[in-house]
Amino acid sequence: MPLSHIAATAALPGDKADPRARDSLKQEVAELDQLIEQILLASR
């Protein structure tokens, strides 16, 4: 599943997920996105 889909799912309102778990997921997606960006920049 692409990171954008995970991020969009975590941002959906009305979900019964624990807000702390949702925030943690958003943080992990942001970290993964940053790592991927670093890898792509290093591969140039």
3-state helix/strand/coil string of the chain: CCHHHHHHHHHCCCCCCCHHHHHHHHHHHHHHHHHHHHHHHHCC
pLDDT at 42: 96
pLDDT at 5: 77
pTM: 0.69
pLDDT tens for each residue of 1-44:
577 777 777 777 766 778 887 888 888 888 999 999 999 999 98
